[in-house]
Amino acid sequence: MRVFLCALLLAAGASAAEIAGNWKVEFVSGVANPKIYGAEFEFRVEGNKLAGKAHIGKGWPGTAPISKGVVEDNHISFFVVGESPSSSGHPKMRFNGTVHGDEIELTMKFFYLDDESDSVQSEFRGKRISK
Percentage with pLDDT > 70 across the chain: 81
Q: Give residue 15's pLDDT.
A: 62
Alpha-carbon torsion, ordered 113, 97, 76, 100, to 10 deg: -160
Q: In the structure, what pLDDT confidence band is assigned to residue 35 with cuts at 50, 70 and 90?
A: confident
User: What are the extents of the domains in the chain?
Assistant: 2-130
The model's pLDDT over 50-103, given as tens digits with 9 standing for 90+, comes to: 999 999 988 778 899 999 999 999 999 999 998 766 666 778 999 999 999 999
Helix (H) or strand (E) holding 78: strand 75-81
Give this prediction's pTM.
0.81
DSSP letters along 34-99, please? TT-SEEEEEEEEETTEEEEEEEESSSSSEEEEEEEEEEETTEEEEEEE-SS-BTTBS-EEEEEEEE
pLDDT band at 34 (very low <50, low <70, confident <90, very high): confident
Query: How many Å apart are CA 55 and CA 14, to the nearest integer?
Result: 26
Q: Give the CATH fold of the 2-130 domain.
A: Lipocalin (2.40.128)
